[in-house]
Structure 1
Amino acid sequence: MTKTTSSAAALSTRIQQHLSQLPQAEKRLADMILESPGHMASYSASEISKMAGVSNATMTRLVQRLGYQNYDQMRRLARQGQDWGSPLYLLDRPEQNTAEDGADLYEQHIASSTQNIRGTFAGISPTLINEIGKKIATARQVRIFGQRNNYFFASYLRWQFIQFRSNVYVLPVSGETIAEYLVGLEPEDLFIVFGLRRRNPLLADLIAAVSSFGVKTLLITDSSNRGDLGADWVLKCDTKSPIPLDNHTAVMALCHVLSAQVIEKVGNAGRQRLVKIEELHAALREL
């Protein structure tokens, strides 16, 4: 883990380690924080204390007992946890999920999906999409990398691309190392990396290694990622959500747009490939 992710995770771990030794009032406060540590990112020490039904002095004693300088230090760690994308730090307390909220959740999901799509494409110029689309269509090989939920998006994008062009690969396959896929890369290739949170901290090293072969890299990430990790192109997707799991509607929309670029730019060759695929489907009775 990076220093940021390690520090954010350590906040909850440190509270758990002290929990059995805490006086009753401090334990009640600690239990509430553990239930929803992300609340510290939004509320003051006094507000958190009031929610737990304890005094401000209890918060002061708990902070000192945990070994932090002050409440603001804990608050910064909670914000890091939210930026990191930890569902625990994005979770509301159970009593906040009222019946009224539940009835409205359906509309909230629709609204967040729509806003994420609009926000994502507002930040991506058609010129950039066109430039990336040309590279996807003309590259000797396209290799797409993803881990955890990113692997799903990498696999989905490959499946879209191979309808209209060949030599598209997803990595890593289970049991294989990344290095085995990097040997043989050439400048005519394209390397696409899905780096949506919670991303592997080694992605920057991977992109640097790929770039050393003279290969262009495209990073598809979320808007909370403030860096480019050294990639040649970066496409950022809004993933805001009314629940503690990121909304990836805009990511799928971006995959659709990139696929449309491939269809347009490969032209007749892509159409002929699709015709042959459909003929083989029929001959093999696959569908």
Structure 2
Amino acid sequence: MTQKQDSSFLSHVRATLPKMHPAERRLGEFVCDFPGELASYDAQELAKLANVSKATVSRFVRRLGYENYDEARKHAREEQQTGSRLFLNMPKMDDVEGSLAANIVQGKANLDRTFAAINQSEIDAVASCILAARKTWVIGFRAGHPIADYLRWQLLQVTENIVSVPGAGETLGESTASIQKDDCVIMIGLRRRVAVIDTLLTQLTGKKAKLLYITDEGVAADSRPSWHFRCYTAASGPLFNHVSVMALCHMIVLRAIEISGGRARARLRSIELANDQMDEL
């Protein structure tokens, strides 16, 4: 195979489009819009979907540098596992009930697969770490950023020594420079992950702080953090399903409240009293 796999399948197709003949370009544009079709169908089926000949499909994959269609489809399938939302199937607009049922089934499957690999003792260890920490840092990027904010907000019910970073206009260095070995760090790295995550993992490991790394299932098990929880995010539509990530956050907060006992109840009473005094429902 002459095509280099150090670039993504889609980026290679886009880069090659200007060099293609009209029929090949039409097929290339179709593949860019619906790459999941190439990953799922054989050459004849793809030709019919894109309204081109099977010979055009053969010329198309050779122009991309693949020896044959199966090799191109293999690369597309590999990329399908790593993150482009374009590879996810689009729901059919005329099957609303079927779409709802498929999403519910997929969400349940994600929960089952996620928690089959995470045991109670691990969740308890994370909750205890948060309660004992000098300070807890929650770090999130892209899709993980609002989830990190949500987790920090929920954990405020049981501890005040918690912050989510980076804040607006802040650099990572301004926050990570303050992390100490008595701290707890929770980093949420969902696809597509930013390039700095791997460097940040190494840096945080060097600080000796306890580290929980929450990712999707596309990340291989990482031995650097104290805990690595992999959440399944497969979906029946064009957006990743983060129900298992939110459920994991809920479990961590719930166990922190349960383990802290009287301390959590006292803080919750203080919060409710302050809410009542300010007439906040």
Q: Would the TM-score normalized by the shorter structure come out above 0.5?
A: yes
**Corresponding residue of 2:148:** 154
Distance 1:68 1:259, change over 3 A: same
- 2:221 equivalent to 1:227: yes
Aligned residue number for residue 165 of structure 1: 159
1:125-144 to structure 2, matched below 5 A, reads 125-144=119-138
**Does the aligned pair in 2 maintain the 1:143–1:168 contact within 8 Å?**
yes
Between the aligned partners of 1:284 and 1:4, the Cα distance in structure 2 is 59
AA of the residue aligned to 2:173: A
State the Cα RMSD in Å: 2.3
Q: Secondary structure at the match of 2:212?
A: strand
Gaps of 5+ in 2: none
1:33-112 correspondence runs (5 A): 33-92=31-90, 97=92, 99=94, 101-112=95-106
Q: 1:14, 1:66 within 8 Å by CA — same for their partners in 2?
A: no
Shift of 1:52: 3.0
Letter in 2 for 1:192: I
Answer yes or no: is the 8 Å Cα contact 2:10–2:32 preserved in 1: no
Residues 1:175 and 2:169 aligned together = yes
Deviation at 1:133, TM superposition (A): 1.8
Query: How far apart, CA to CA, are the structure 1 residues paired with 2:144 and 2:6?
Result: 18
Given that residues 88 and 244 in structure 1 are in contact (C-alpha distance below 8 angstroms), is that contact kept between their aligned partners in structure 2?
yes
Contact 2:136 2:163 survives alignment (8 Å) = yes
2:261 is paired with a residue whose SS is helix
CA distance in 1, matches of 2:78, 2:169: 32
Instruction: Check whether the contact 2:189–2:216 (CA below 8 A) recurs between aligned residues.
Output: yes
What is the CA-CA distance between 1:79 and the residue it aligns to?
A: 2.3
Count of aligned positions: 278
Instruction: State yes or no: 1:266 paired with 2:260.
Output: yes
4+ runs deviating over 4 angstroms: 3-6
Q: Secondary structure at the match of 1:84?
A: coil
Q: Which moved more, 1:143-152 or 1:276-285?
A: 276-285
Post-superposition shift, 1:284? Answer: 3.0
Are 1:5 and 1:84, in contact at CA under 8 Å, matched by a contact in 2? no
Task: Measure the CA separation in 2 of the matches of 1:285 and 1:216.
Answer: 39
Equivalent residue number for residue 201 of structure 2: 207
What displacement does 1:150 show?
A: 0.5
Consecutive unaligned residues in structure 1, runs of 5 or more? none
Compute the displacement of 1:67 (Å). Answer: 4.0
Question: Identity across aligned pairs (percent)?
Answer: 36
Instruction: Please say which of residues 145-154 and 80-89 is displaced more in the overlay.
Output: 80-89
Change (3 A) 1:4 1:229: farther
Higher helix share: 1
Structure 2 letter corresponding to 1:106: L
Q: Could you tell me how far apart the structure 2 residues matched to 1:259 and 1:12 are?
A: 45
Distance 1:209 1:7 in 2: 28
Q: TM-score, length-normalised on structure 1?
A: 0.88
Higher mean C-alpha deviation, range 50-59 or range 240-249: 50-59
Give the 3-state SS of the residue equivalent to 1:219 in structure 2: strand
Deviations 1:158-194 (A, max 9, x none): 1111111111010001111101111122211111011
